Amino acid sequence: MKRILSIQSHVVFGCAGNSAAVFPMRRLGMEVWPINTVQFSNHTQYAAGWQGMAMPAGHISALCEGLSNIEVLAHCDAVLSGYLGSAEQGDEILTVVAAVKAANPAAIYFCDPVMGHPEKGCIVAPGVTRFLTEKALPVADIMAPNLLELETLCDVHLTDLAQTRAAAHQLLARGVKMVLVKHLGRAAREPGRFEMLLATPEGDYLIDRPLYEFARQPVGVGDLISALMLANLQAGYDAVSAFERTNAAVDAVLLHTWQADAYELQLIAAQEAFAAPLIKARAERLA
């Protein structure tokens, strides 16, 4: 059994951060150790707002120290980070990553660089974006930005697939071993589809799924994609197979959500797709 330390946000109601990631990873057979960077009543895009707080400075470090004290860090196979409540939490996460890798040199760090951006309505604390671009990027083994986050990481504006591939390879050139661009958006080859790009030193792959017409776009899809990609890799699937399985499972979740006319992701209804996804689309290797 593989063990994943997942450090990201938590919402009491709905599906975002760990609330979107932990159950699917467990359904795939992973042992997941969640640490919450924030605890909110709900995600931040509800018109009525939200209640809750970011975890205080030292909280992540203290929990990691507790794990070290009971000598389990050597059994951790991967660290997944997502939404941060403060830039200081980012520094604590990198300390955790270093401790895990010291205890288990085979462990990997999967960084989902969640950044604030007006186009997606996401709010992050001051300094988080700078932390991700300057400190997390050089340490990450795998990064999973969306198009807007990839633009920020590379300080470039992207409008097509060729530019997006080049930007992803900038991250590979800086030491990242795999880049999953979770949503190509305006840079997609087919604007009417939801396209994702997987960039590796061995080659680039494109995959797509349907775009469903939601009255309000569900939140947490990116968190779900990162979690499923990491869990499939940890389950032993190669990068392309993990990419295809992730795409199929996310499509199943979005289809159930759309059919239910729901705002929150329908993870329970679609749970069979996490362990046994019906793969309708294969990844295309790009020239």
* Residue 44 pLDDT: 87
Whole-number percent of the chain with pLDDT over 90:
94
Domain-by-domain residue ranges, the chain? Answer: 3-286
What would the mean pLDDT of 67-90 be, rounded to a whole number? 96
DSSP SS3 for 142: strand
Measure the CA–CA gap between 268 and 147, rounded to whole angstroms. 28
Give 112's DSSP letter.
-
* Residue 275 pLDDT: 96
Topology of the domain comprising 3-286: UDP-N-acetylmuramoyl-L-alanine:D-glutamate ligase (3.40.1190)
| DSSP symbols for 255-270 | HHHHHTT-SS--TTTT
* Residue 121 pLDDT: 58
Q: At what angle do helices 18-27 and 221-234 cross, to 10 degrees?
A: 30
Is the pLDDT assigned to residue 65 strictly greater than 90? yes
What confidence tier does 117 reach under pLDDT thresholds 50, 70, 90? low
**Binding site members for substrate:** 9, 44-45, 223
**Binding site members for ATP:** 112, 144, 149, 182
Lay out the sheet containing 193-200: strands in order across.
Answer: 52-54, 31-40, 3-11, 78-81, 108-111, 142-143, 178-181, 193-200, 203-210, 284-285
H or E element at residue 109: strand 108-111
Is the pLDDT assigned to residue 238 strictly greater than 80? yes
**Binding site members:** 9, 44-45, 112, 144, 149, 182, 223
Q: At what angle do helices 147-154 and 161-173 cross, to 10 degrees?
A: 50
What would the mean pLDDT of 159-183 be, rounded to a whole number? 97
